[in-house]
Every structure is written in C-alpha cells, then in structure tokens.
Amino acid sequence: MSVFIYRMMFAFLALFPILNPPAMAPIFLQLTSGIPERDRNRLAVLIGFYTFLLLATLLYVGGWVLRLLGISIPVISLAGGLLLFHSAWRMLNKDPKMSESEKEELRPEILNRAFFPLTLPVTAGPGSMAVTLSLVPAGSLLDPSVMLHFLALTCGIVLASFTVFAFYRFSAGAIRRLGKSGEATITQIAAFILLAIGVQIIWNGIRGLLKTL
C-alpha cells in the first residue's frame, strides 16, 4: 500500500507543477470574463475531465506507440525531464505561459473550445504530456505488479486533473484576494518543485540508460 501511495503521489507531484492550476486559474478567469458564471463552471468541469482523459490515454497507449517507434522509456524520461527543467527555469524567471495576444485569440466562441485549445495545449501542454510518458512503467500490462503501478499512476492523474477543476471552479474569490503578489509566490513555489522533479526524472532516465550498457 505504501508503494502504491508513493507512486500515486509521485505522479501527482510531477504533474501538478507543470499543469500549475494556481497560476493558470487567473488566465482561465480572464479568458472567461465575458461569459455567465454557470458556463464558466461548466467549462471548469469539462477541462478537468478532458485533462484526465488526455493524460490517462497517453499513459496507457503512449508506451505502445513508443515501442512501435523504437523509443525507450529511459529516453522519454530524459527528454521529459529536460523539458520540465526548461519549463521550471522559465517559470522561475517569470516568463508568462501565455501572452496577452494569445489570450485575446482564445476569447471568441470560448464555450466551443473546452478541449482545444483550453485543455490541449493551454492546460495540459507538451510538458505534462512528456511527464506522463516518462512515468509509463516498463513491463507487460498483464503483469499484476505492472497493472498496480498503472493504477497508482492513474490515481495520480485523477488527483492532478481534479486540482485543475477545483482551481478553475473555486479559486476566483481567493485569487482576487491574493492579488498579483500572491499569485507570483504560488507560481515560484510550484516552479521550484517542478525543477526538482525535472532533475529526478532526468536522473531516472540516465540510470535507465546506464543499465542498458
């Protein structure tokens, strides 16, 4: 049970900083500022669900696709870790995830854009996809231990997706009270966690490659 919880929380902690719901919630509120509260809440539910669906599908299908392409899991771990490190570095240097012009382009017909682009790539972009692929366990899905590993990772994805929904749905009042300084503090803490997880995933990839020598 302790291993299951560890794997679940590792997946959650790997995805949460790159999804970064605290920092993305203000952007979501800006993008949906012109629509009724009921429609905004519906969008939050849809984006949370689509985030889970996208990442869970990638977790279960991505490994097979990688094998067909001849790409090993350690290589994906290394690439995903480097991408995470780069994203965290940009966040620590306060580079915005979305420019003002990109926000303006998303506002028209926003209710029809729950999956694309509000889920992919605004919420769950290349970084979270790379992290999910780097978490794919080696071995056959028919193996009970591997199946349990997949289940733990799926639970981690559920938690991460739920935080997307929760922040998008319930954080409007808190965000307005925190202001820009509070938002910046949350973003910096998330960026540091992301940097550490990126280093860990890079090391996992290197260790996996060394075992093949």
Distance of CA 156 to the CA centre of its chain: 11
Place of tokens 């979270």: 128
pLDDT of residue 166: 95
Q: How many CB atoms lie within 10 A of CB 64?
A: 11
The per-residue pLDDT of the chain, averaged, comes to: 80
pLDDT digits (tens, 9 = 90+) for 51-98: 999 999 999 998 778 778 777 767 777 877 787 677 678 767 766 555
- The C-alpha atoms of residue 30 and residue 37 are separated, in whole angstroms, by 13
pLDDT of residue 43: 93
Domain that holds residue 132: 2-211
pLDDT of residue 101: 59
- Is the pLDDT at 33 greater than 90? The verdict is no
- The C-alpha atoms of residue 60 and residue 141 are separated, in whole angstroms, by 9
Residues 137, 142, 147, 150, CA torsion sign:
positive
- 32-41, 87-96, 174-183, 195-204: range with highest mean pLDDT: 32-41
Instruction: Supply 113's token pair.
Output: 């854009």
Flag the least confident range among 100-104, 137-141, 142-146: 100-104
Distance between start and end Cα atoms, the chain: 33
Pick from 43, 15, 50: nearest CA to 29: 43
pLDDT digits (tens, 9 = 90+) for 117-127: 788 877 887 77
Length of the chain measured in residues:
213
- Is the pLDDT at 161 greater than 70? The verdict is yes
Pick from 2, 23, 7: nearest CA to 147: 7
Per-position DSSP letters for 120-133, written without gaps between them: IIIIS-HHHHHHHH
pLDDT of residue 108: 56
- For the full predicted model, state whether its pTM sits above 0.75: no
| 212 Cβ contact list (under 8 Å, min separation 6) | 72, 74
- The C-alpha atoms of residue 10 and residue 153 are separated, in whole angstroms, by 8
3-state secondary structure of 160: helix
Count the domains in the chain: 1
Q: Half-sphere exposure of 213 toward its Cβ, with a 13 Å CA cutoff? A: 5
pLDDT of residue 107: 54
